[in-house]
Amino acid sequence: MANNNVTGSPLEKTSLASLDQRLAMAKRCSREGVKAGAKAAVLAGIATAIPTLASARMLPWARTNFNHSAQALIISTVAGAAYFIVADKTVLATARRNSFKQVHNTEA
Give domain limits for the chain: 29-107
In angstroms, what CA-CA distances link 77 with 43, 71, 82?
A: 13, 10, 9
Query: How deeply is 25 buried, as exposed, middle or buried, from its count of CB atoms within 10 A (0-12, 13-18, 19+)?
Result: middle
Distance CA(78)–CA(36), nearest Å, equals: 15
Going residue by residue through the chain (108 aa), what tens digit of pLDDT does each one get?
Answer: 555 555 555 555 567 777 888 888 888 889 999 999 999 999 999 999 999 999 999 999 999 999 999 999 999 999 999 999 999 999 999 888 887 776 666 665
